[in-house]
Every structure is written in structure tokens, then in C-alpha cells.
């Protein structure tokens, strides 16, 4: 059945769905697309609640309730939000595409607040739909986002449930049945992931008459993931539309929210998946450009397979709250350990840098979200993509992506987690490895048919068109993103200089003239500033047990310590003389140029000095390090060489003495063996033979003895083997048995 296309009050939009028209509202940021099938529209309206909320009375009621329940919103909703909320309350379907941090969560928060207020005071709002226990379902991609939604809703006075494995397990432990509670409409908002929505328990919930009567809407948050994750990663996303259209009543509003859905084929795919192809629905597309975020593409000077990531430090040392995205949990861990090593020792660093990924306990992830939101001492969250979808943490200022994300949509989603207040200046930095640039150039050099084959194979982890263009484009990155997502403001397709953007992208930055101000995150008054991430903090923890094989771990003997102390004091005199010639210091004593405590510290960790930076770590308060640190290091290395040579001489002398002593012992053993041979050569006169055991020495060879040039051992003469009868006789009793028969015969003769 062909849909009737209409264009009311505005021009046609070539980016809209095929066979659809546009209906504009008096708001330059709003472009509304309506698919209108007359026969289906009438059947739809017969099941819906009518357009009561879209009237002037309905919209004024919405604003009045919002100002009553959310006093901090003095002006109520924005015009575009008011329009969409009215559509939702009237049971119409909506696909809303607008920027991150633009207030999309308002679209499922305000409707339930309005319905709860009308249910509590029906007489105060005559002529409007009244549900006794209104319920809304929000489908979210991650349980972390569900927990964040529950927290945000609780601040608005709405009881919400995150239906996750953990909440279901906790409920079973306490004897509760969450399925019965949901079916009984005890939770106004239920946040759930697609996998749990397919559970058989939800068949019983959706069969409940009470639940079907009070269900008001179903919202799919981050709707772009239906295509991005639904093919292979999480197939349950592909079944959301079938569940909604097959299991839920038709009078409810079905709407989807996203910030990164391209016009054309991707939009049509999402609409088909959610069942927006027949009945009347609205597509609201606003610009997703974030004017208060600077987008930077920074080449990495190191790989991602090592344990050091120095390119991060110039951004992290600005002491701004930041989220640092990594592609894998293993990379998260290596970055986390690297940052901890660059901080001074102490438990404070465990709060300043936090981990967030799927392998962390849910309670730990929730604690991380709480700390980064509420605690000024928490600065950085090292996270996977699990933190990159939908989180609303206004205090985050910088988004750092170590490695290029899989898609352009993922890049913008992760960038959109920062400066949600729309006032502060934020930064989104993509650290791209050299291999990513080479892969992008190789991908674009392929035949277009080969590219299509690569895209159909869903090989997005390697490369795709938008990602390749982002890495190779030489013109403005913001203009490229605006063109990709159909942003049509007057300056959308201009570069940052021509558009006079206050925060230019990395491609336009060399031509930008003007200040860029990125202040640190505020700290409470009187709080000590956070220490920087510095390699010297790692070196400061060096001790004598952490030196290399060339500098053995040992303390200086008393004589060597005295000699080193004398040399260091002479070095202090040189420093004193040089500093007095450079700048007059009046009556400053010589000892202040290289204090005695500093000399003692150097002597205590003498063999731990393996680099110039180690001196700064061992004596961080020495104010003449910049000019004389290298000279001190060279002096210490010379003394180390002399002392190690003396240690080696003593060791060799000791080994020589030990070898001489062992030779004397061997000669004594050989003399004793000669005596044994002489005894064994004499004729045997007795039947009893006692074998001579060799003399065993109790001395053991020292572990470090040098036996390389040792003389070969002298061969001992072989002792002739004894006869078997002699050897066996030696194991018999040592007495001669009596001859009973002979003695008896003698006694008989005597008698």
C-alpha cells in the first residue's frame, strides 16, 4: 500500500525516507519527517488516545507539571522536547536523532512524570488520559547505563528498576519475584537490555492484563546499535521490533533515540527493524554537532602493544576529569598500571585513576561512576566501550581514545560523554596508530566493489568508509562529520576558520589564531593540587633492590663510604664555587648547595643510581639539579666503576685462596687413598674382611667459586675387586660356628 507523501510548511528534504514528506515546526533546529498512510492512519487513530496532549491545553499542562516537579527547570521544556513528549503521550511513534547531551533522556523521563502526576490528581487535569499505574519500558545496551538511568530517574522522584542479572539474583535471594512486581506495575520505569527482554518471564509479564492497560511507551535508547551490534555481537537487538509489535499492545508509543544515525539507508534499516514502515510516525533529526567539544586526531608516537603511553601525559597533566577509552580489557589494564606507576606512592592514586569494564564487579563499576561524578580527587576512568553509550556525567571534560574506534558512530558516542552541561569546553582526542593510517589509505585505494564486499562481510573492526575518510581527510573534520550525518545549518559544511568555531579541529588548528582555554577541573578551596603524572615519580620508588645486573645490590663498606663521602663533599665545594660566580648569594654557607642529608641519601642508595633522573628521584628537593645533576651523575658512575672493580678484585682473590685450599685437601685425600691401597695389597690372613670406607670431607664448594681454570683432578688408582666369597663373608656374623659333629665324636672316644 503506497504511503501518501505530504510537505507541509517547509521544503522537501532529500535525506528523508524514500516515499515520505516533511512536516516542519517553527524551530530552525527541527526537521520533522512524517510517513502518512491514510487507511492505516485511521486504524491507528482508532486505537490511540487521540491528539489531546498535542493541543495547546495539553502542552501547557505538560509545561506546568514539569515546572512543578522539576523546579530547577524554570522555563520548562525546550520547544522540540515539548513537541516530542506530546507525541509520545498521544501514543505516536517517534525516531529522534539529536546530539549527545541534548536532552534525549527527557523524552522518557517527562512522560512518566506527567502520567504519574495525572494519576495522583485526576481531577486537576480533566479531559486527559488517566492511567492508574503508568509504566514505561526503556531498552538500554548495557547494565551500567541502566544503573545510570535509575540514578538519574531517582533524582527526579521516579522509582525505576534496572532489570539485570544482578538485580534478578538479589531478588531471588530475598524471596521476591521481580516478574510479578513488573506485571503488577510496581515500577514506573523498567530499564532492561535486549537479552533479558527475550526471556520467557517477559511472555508472562506481557500477558498480564493490568500491565497491558497501564503500559504507556517503549523506548529504545542508542538505536543505532540495532544495526551496529545486531548482526553478530548481540543478535537480540535484531528482535526488539518483533517483540514490541508481537507482544505489546498497539496503543502505546514506540520511540527510538540516538545521536549517531546517518540519513538514508541506515535510517531506513532502523525504521524497518522497529516496525515504523506502516503506521504514522515521526522522524526528528536535529544537528548532532557539539560546538563546545574540540575534535582532535593525534598520531601516536608509540605502539599499543607496550607498557608505556607517554602521548597521554600532555592531556592528563591538565588535571581535567577525563575518560580514557581502550579497545580491550587487556589494554585497559596496561594503561591503568602505567598511570599508577607515574603517580607518587600511596592509596590516593587508587582513587585518582579508576577502571571500568565488563570484568569489574557491578558494585565496583557503580562506585567508579559515583567517584568520578562526586569526588574531586577522582580524575580518570580507564574504560572500554561499555562506558561509551549514554552515560550522563556532567563533570567529565575530556574524552581520550587510545586507538581508533571501530566506527565513526562509536567515535562520536565516546566523544559525547564529556561537557554535558553545554557550557564548559571539552576535548575529544583520537590517538591513531600508524597502522590505522596505512590501513585507511589501502582501503580507499581498493576498487569500490571490493569495499562493498568488505562492508557486507561486517569487517568493521579493520576498516570502513567513514573511518577511512576520517583518518585520511585533509580538510575540516567537523565539516566532514556534519556532511556524513546530514547537519544542515548555515555553517555546517564550512571549515572551522570560515565558520568561526571557537574550538577548531586538528586539521584547522594550524590556521587558528586565538586563545584556547581548557581549565582544570575545580577542587575544593584549600585542597592541594593533584600531583602530575611524571616518570620521576616512578624513579623515586627505586631502591637498591631494583638496580640492574651491572650494578649489584649491596651497601657500601665503611671504607668505601668514607671515600665516596669525601668525593661528594669536594663536589659540593665545586658547586658552591660555580654558583657563587654565577650569582652572588651573600653569606649562604657552602653546605646549603649540597646538604649533608642529600649526601647521606646518595650514599645509602649509591648503587641504585642508574640514570640522571634517578638522582632527581632520590633527592627531589635539591634545587641545583638542573645545572649540576649531570656532573653529579658522572661522578657517581666513576665511583661505581672503581668500587665495582675493587669488589671484583676482592672476589677473585678470595676465589684463588679457596681453590688453593681445595687443592691441599685433594692432596691429603690422595695420600690417604695410597695408604689404603698398600693395606689392600698385603696377603689376607684372616677370614674376616672389613671394607675400608673412603674419607668424606664436610666442606662444600662456595656458590660463587670460579672453577674455570681449575687443574683437573688426579685420577685415583683402582682398588682391586675382592672375591665374592670374601665380600659375602664380611656380612656374616663375626664368630666362627662350632662344629658339633666333631666335638661329639671326641667325647665318645674319651668315654
Judged by DSSP in three states, 600 sits in helix
| Nearest Cα residue to 168 out of 182, 148, 158 | 182
> What average pLDDT does this structure show over 4-12?
31
Q: Is the pLDDT of residue 33 over 90?
A: no
* Of 104-108, 555-559, 560-564, 708-712, minimum mean pLDDT range: 708-712
Question: Which pLDDT belongs to residue 699?
Answer: 53
Question: Which pLDDT belongs to residue 546?
Answer: 43
Alpha-carbon separation of residue 60 from 127, 352, 597 (angstroms): 13, 46, 76
Phi, psi values for residue 193, rounded to 5°: -90, 160
Most confident residue range from 75-89, 388-402, 522-536, 732-746: 75-89
Taking the CB of residue 461, how many other CB atoms lie within 10 A of it? 9
Most confident residue range from 52-66, 589-603, 652-666: 52-66
* Distance in angstroms (rounded) separating the CA atoms of residues 213 and 252: 10
Bridge partner list, 112: none
**What nine digits make up the cell of 441?**
589509505
Domains of the chain: 21-132+199-285 (3.40.50), 293-432+473-511 (3.40.50.300), 535-647 (no CATH)
Question: Which pLDDT belongs to residue 393?
Answer: 87
* Distance in angstroms (rounded) separating the CA atoms of residues 578 and 680: 84
Bridge partner list, 326: 402
pLDDT in tens, 535-552: 766 655 544 334 334 444
| Length of the chain measured in residues | 751
pLDDT in tens, 335-355: 999 999 999 888 889 999 999
**According to the 3-state scheme, what is the secondary structure of 386-428?**
HHCCCCCCCCCCEEEEECCCCCHHHHHHHHCCCCCCCCCCEEE
Question: Which pLDDT belongs to residue 35?
Answer: 34
Most distant pair of Cα atoms in the chain: their distance: 158
In terms of DSSP H, where are the helices of 70-156? 79-89, 106-120, 143-155
* Distance in angstroms (rounded) separating the CA atoms of residues 539 and 598: 16
> What average pLDDT does this structure show over 641-665?
88
Asked if 479 contacts 494 with a C-beta cutoff of 8 angstroms, the reply is: yes
Question: Is-above-0.75 flag for pTM?
Answer: no
Question: Which pLDDT belongs to residue 414?
Answer: 92
* Distance in angstroms (rounded) separating the CA atoms of residues 480 and 492: 9
* Distance in angstroms (rounded) separating the CA atoms of residues 336 and 258: 31
Radius of gyration of the chain (CA): 42
Asked if 389 contacts 234 with a C-beta cutoff of 8 angstroms, the reply is: no
pLDDT in tens, 665-717: 888 777 666 655 555 555 544 445 455 555 555 555 555 555 555 566 666 66
Question: Which pLDDT belongs to residue 708?
Answer: 55
Question: Which pLDDT belongs to residue 37?
Answer: 31
- Please work out, in degrees rounded to the nearest 5, the angle formed at the alpha carbon of residue 98 by the alpha carbons of 92 and 103: 85
DSSP H or E stretch at residue 256: strand 253-258
Q: Is the pLDDT of residue 418 over 80?
A: yes
pLDDT in tens, 438-458: 999 998 888 776 665 555 444
Which of the four pLDDT bands, split at 50, 70 and 90, describes residue 408?
very high
Question: Which pLDDT belongs to residue 745?
Answer: 53
**What nine digits make up the cell of 738?**
662350632
Question: Which pLDDT belongs to residue 746?
Answer: 54
Amino acid at each position: 500500500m503506497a504511503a501518501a507523501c505530504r510537505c507541509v510548511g517547509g521544503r522537501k528534504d532529500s535525506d528523508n525516507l524514500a516515499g515520505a514528506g516533511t512536516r516542519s515546526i517553527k524551530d530552525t533546529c527541527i526537521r520533522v519527517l512524517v510517513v502518512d498512510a491514510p487507511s492505516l492512519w485511521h486504524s491507528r487513530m482508532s486505537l490511540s488516545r487521540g491528539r489531546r496532549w498535542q493541543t495547546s491545553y495539553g502542552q501547557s499542562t505538560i509545561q506546568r507539571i514539569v515546572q512543578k516537579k522539576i523546579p530547577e527547570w524554570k522555563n520548562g521544556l525546550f520547544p522540540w522536547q515539548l513537541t516530542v513528549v506530546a507525541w509520545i503521550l498521544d501514543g505516536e511513534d517517534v525516531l529522534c536523532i539529536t546530539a549527545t547531551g541534548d536532552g534525549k533522556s527527557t523524552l522518557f523521563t517527562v512522560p512518566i512524570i506527567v502520567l504519574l502526576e495525572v494519576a495522583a490528581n485526576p481531577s486537576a487535569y480533566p479531559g486527559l488520559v488517566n492511567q492508574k499505574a503508568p509504566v514505561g519500558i526503556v531498552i538500554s545496551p548495557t547494565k551500567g547505563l541502566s544503573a545510570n538511568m535509575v540514578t538519574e530517574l531517582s533524582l527526579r522522584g521516579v522509582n525505576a528498576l534496572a532489570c539485570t542479572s544482578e538485580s534478578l539474583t538479589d531478588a531471588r535471594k530475598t524471596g521476591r519475584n521481580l516478574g510479578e512486581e513488573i506485571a503488577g506495575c510496581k515500577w514506573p520505569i523498567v530499564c532492561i537490555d535486549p537479552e533479558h527482554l527475550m526471556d520467557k518471564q517477559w511472555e508472562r509479564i506481557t500477558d498480564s492484563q493490568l500491565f497491558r492497560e497501564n503500559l504507556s511507551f517503549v523506548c529504545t535508547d542508542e538505536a543505532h546499535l540495532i544495526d551496529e551490534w545486531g548482526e553478530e555481537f548481540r543478535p537480540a537487538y535484531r528482535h526488539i521490533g518483533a517483540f514490541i509489535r508481537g507482544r505489546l499492545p498497539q496503543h502505546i508509543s514506540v520511540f527510538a533515540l540516538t545521536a549517531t544515525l546517518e540519513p538514508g539507508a541506515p535510517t531506513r534499516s532502523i525504521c524497518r527493524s522497529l516496525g515504523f514502515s506502516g503506521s504514522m510516525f515521526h522522524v526528528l533529526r536535529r544537528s548532532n554537532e557539539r560546538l563546545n567539544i574540540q575534535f582532535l586526531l593525534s598520531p601516536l608516537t608509540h605502539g599499543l602493544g607496550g607498557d608505556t603511553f607517554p602521548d597521554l601525559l600532555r592531556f592528563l597533566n591538565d588535571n581535567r576529569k577525563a575518560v580514557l577509552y581502550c579497545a580491550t580489557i587487556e589494554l585497559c589494564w596496561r594503561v591503568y598500571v602505567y598511570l599508577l606507576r607515574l603517580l607518587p606512592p600511596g592509596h590516593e592514586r587508587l582513587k585518582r585513576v579508576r577502571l571500568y569494564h565488563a570484568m569489574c564487579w557491578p558494585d565496583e563499576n557503580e562506585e567508579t561512576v559515583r567517584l568520578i561524578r562526586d569526588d574531586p580527587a577522582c580524575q580518570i576512568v580507564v574504560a572500554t566501550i561499555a562506558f561509551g553509550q549514554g552515560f550522563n556525567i556532567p563533570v567529565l571534560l575530556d574524552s581520550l581514545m587510545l586507538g581508533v574506534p571501530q566506527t565513526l558512530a562509536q567515535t562520536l558516542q565516546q566523544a559525547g560523554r564529556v561537557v554535558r552541561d553545554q557550557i564548559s569546553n571539552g576535548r575529544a582526542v583520537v590517538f591513531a596508530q600508524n597502522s590505522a593510517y596505512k590501513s585507511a589509505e589501502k582501503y580507499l585505494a581498493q576498487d569500490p566493489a571490493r569495499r562493498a564486499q568488505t562492508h557486507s562481510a561486517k569487517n568493521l573492526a579493520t576498516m570502513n568508509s567513514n573511518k577511512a575518510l576520517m583518518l585520511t581527510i585533509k580538510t575540516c573534520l567537523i565539516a566532514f562529520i556534519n556532511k556524513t550525518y546530514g547537519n544542515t545549518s548555515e555553517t555546517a559544511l564550512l571549515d572551522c576558520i570560515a565558520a568561526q568555531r571557537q574550538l577548531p579541529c586538528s586539521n584547522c588548528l594550524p590556521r587558528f589564531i586565538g586563545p584556547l582555554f581548557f581549565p582544570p577541573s575545580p577542587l575544593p578551596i584549600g585542597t592541594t593540587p593533584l600531583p602530575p603524572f611524571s616518570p620521576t615519580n616512578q624513579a623515586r620508588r627505586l631502591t637498591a633492590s631494583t638496580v640492574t645486573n651491572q650494578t649489584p645490590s649491596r651497601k657500601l663498606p665503611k671504607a668505601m663510604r668514607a671515600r665516596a663521602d669525601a668525593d661528594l663533599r669536594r663536589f659540593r665545594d665545586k658547586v658552591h664555587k660555580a654558583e657563587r660566580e654565577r650569582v652572588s648569594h651573600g653569606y649562604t654557607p657552602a653546605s646549603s648547595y649540597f646538604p649533608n642529608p642529600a649526601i647521606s641519601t646518595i650514599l645509602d642508595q649509591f648503587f641504585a643510581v642508574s640514570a640522571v633522573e634517578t638522582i632527581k628521584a632520590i633527592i627531589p628537593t635539591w634545587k641545583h639539579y638542573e645545572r649540576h645533576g649531570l656532573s653529579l651523575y658522572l661522578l657517581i658512575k666513576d665511583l661505581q666503576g672503581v668500587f665495582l672493580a675493587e669488589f671484583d678484585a676482592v672476589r677473585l682473590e678470595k676465589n684463588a685462596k679457596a681453590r688453593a685450599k681445595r687443592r691441599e685437601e685433594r692432596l691429603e685425600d690422595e695420600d690417604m687413598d695410597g695408604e689404603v691401597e698398600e693395606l689392600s695389597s698385603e696377603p689376607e690372613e684372616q677370614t674376616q674382611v672389613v671394607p675400608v670406607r673412603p674419607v668424606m670431607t664436610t666442606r662444600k664448594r662456595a656458590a660463587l667459586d670460579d672453577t674455570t681454570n681449575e687443574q683437573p683432578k688426579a685420577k685415583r688408582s683402582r682398588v682391586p675387586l675382592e672375591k665374592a666369597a670374601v665380600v659375602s663373608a664380611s656380612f656374616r656374623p663375626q664368630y666362627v660356628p662350632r662344629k658339633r659333629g666333631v666335638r661329639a665324636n671326641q667325647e665318645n672316644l674319651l668315654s
